[in-house]
Amino acid sequence: MRPADSVLAVNNDLPIRTRQAVHSGKVRSVYWLTEEDSARLIRERNYPVLPDAPLAIMVISDRLSAFDCVWHAEGGMAGVPGKGAALNAIASHWFELFRKEGLADSHILDIPHPFVWIVQKARPVMIEAICRQYITGSMWRAYSNGEREFCGITLPDNLHKDQRLPELLMTPSTKGILRGIPGVPEADDVNISRQDILDNYAAFNFRSADDVSQYEKLLRDGFAVISQSLTKLDQVFVDTKFEFGYVSDQTGVEKLIYMDEVGTPDSSRIWDGPAYRNGRIVEQSKEAFRQFLLQYFPDPDILLNKNRMPERIALARDNALPLDALMQVSATYVGMAEKITDQKIRLPDNPKAEIIDILHQQYGLIDPAQLS
């Protein structure tokens, strides 16, 4: 087993120079650089952005989030070895492929370390766009209970679990709590329809109604690029989440870009192709860990019922999972990253020390006063 410091579980305490609070999500932490450091890096590194564009350091962690909780294992293992490096490698690979295929750019400007992106600040579109090619998971559970309409789309009767859908479905939901939109509840992660978006495009941060069509094209084209690539690896691309935003290029022209991550085992379902053809589902993504949790705990309703969130939080906090459960996630993520990128994933012995050293020596972004 790898030593504990090889797992980057805490990523919001790096001594990166900033004047703003560090923003931490379930997996990544964002450090907004000072205006001086942003301008210097743009000048020194010739980043294709405006001279005064705000930049950030985005540091991924090895934390494992599922059912909106962070999980840990026995022996003090607070994350999954290799998970952060694998996710960054996969997402970076797809973003670069999108750019080469002429779809759209991403927010990534530089990759100083396997755990780190330097990104341009984007104005996010307030939508999490899920693309589904197969009926499974939460959609299947709702369908099997009689639901037929999803985000304004009506599905036919007689579909079977895990079968390929007649066409790619785009099932968007709100990103954050949006207020004052007719017919859209003021809550996070609420399903919305295409008509909701068109009728209120500005409330979702779209620049124009035409950009809604552009976003849909980027969804379809991006999904197709990943699906075709995974098919060559005999893997089935089941569904994934896309996020978008606006940035200005170096001439000041605003453009729609891909952001966050895409096509990773964290944000997607991927199935093993040979197993699927033989009638079995072998998950090559976080869905396998979700299924483990549902079987491991005697009352899986705690994990599925949003009304039982306090119990769920206590479950994750108070239960150290078997170490093998996290190591299986490690094997899946690293294995998929190496298949997709065709490169070996390097797992640093001490990622935090490496990140600090590189950002200090090569980028001049570490506050010397905070170095021990």
Digit-coded pLDDT (tens) for 209-247: 999 999 999 999 999 999 999 999 999 999 999 999 999
Per-residue pLDDT of 109-124, as tens digits, reads: 999 999 999 999 999 9
Average pLDDT of every residue of the chain: 94
Q: Residue 329 falls within a domain, yes or no?
A: no
Tokens found for residue 313 = 């939080």
| Domain co-membership, 147 together with 206 | yes
State residue 139's pLDDT score.
Answer: 92
Closest CA to 288 of 306, 309, 266: 266
Cα separation of 53 and 148, whole Å?
45
Asked if 28 contacts 61 with a C-beta cutoff of 8 angstroms, the reply is yes
Side chain identity, residue 84? G
Percent of the chain with pLDDT over 90: 89
Q: Flag the least confident range among 54-63, 112-121, 156-165, 182-191.
A: 182-191
Q: How many domains does the chain have?
A: 2
Query: Residue 257, by phi and psi: left (phi above 0), alpha (psi -120 to 50) or beta?
Result: beta
Q: Residue 38 falls within a domain, yes or no?
A: yes
Burial class (CB in 10 A: 0-12, 13-18, 19+), 193: middle
Q: Residue 16 falls within a domain, yes or no?
A: yes
| Domain co-membership, 113 together with 140 | no
Asked whether the predicted pLDDT for residue 1 surpasses 50, the reply is no
Per-residue pLDDT of 135-147, as tens digits, reads: 998 899 999 999 9
| Domain co-membership, 26 together with 45 | yes
| Domain co-membership, 241 together with 158 | yes
Tokens found for residue 254 = 């605003």
Range of the domain at 145: 123-277
Cα separation of 215 and 202, whole Å?
14
| Domain co-membership, 248 together with 131 | yes
State residue 369's pLDDT score.
Answer: 77
- Of the residues 277, 301, 323, which one is the last residue of a structural domain? 277
| Domain co-membership, 68 together with 133 | no
State residue 2's pLDDT score.
Answer: 47
Q: Considering the entire predicted model, what is its pTM? A: 0.94
CATH for 179: 3.30.470.20
State residue 305's pLDDT score.
Answer: 92
Cα separation of 255 and 247, whole Å?
6
Q: Residue 312 falls within a domain, yes or no?
A: no
